[in-house]
Amino acid sequence: MQVRCQRCNYVFTLSREETAAALQEVQETEIKHYNVECPKCRRQVKVPAQAIRRAQPRQDQPSDA
């Protein structure tokens, strides 16, 4: 999934593994945002949990929507 840094507007891509890890944390902790580090400016970038859920490719997870 693509993430845009709110500080420097650098757009970078989370790998499938990173996205999966983010999704797991979102689901386990019910956080509203997942923090990733901008590779350019090293700032913590907040990724909305909803965006992470949307970015996740289809799996055998039940949809609770």
Kindly list the residues in this chain that would bind Zn ion in the complex (CB under 5 A).
Answer: 5, 7-8, 10, 38, 40-41, 43
Residues 6+ apart with CB under 8 A from 59: none
Rank residues 12 and 55 by Cβ distance to Zn ion and give the closer one.
12
Rank residues 10 and 27 by Cβ distance to Zn ion and give the closer one.
10
Contact between 26 and 54 under an 8 Å Cβ cutoff? The reply is no
Q: Minimal distance in Å, beta carbon 38 to Zn ion?
A: 3
Rank residues 10 and 53 by Cβ distance to Zn ion and give the closer one.
10
3 state SS for 36-48: EECCCCCCEEEEE
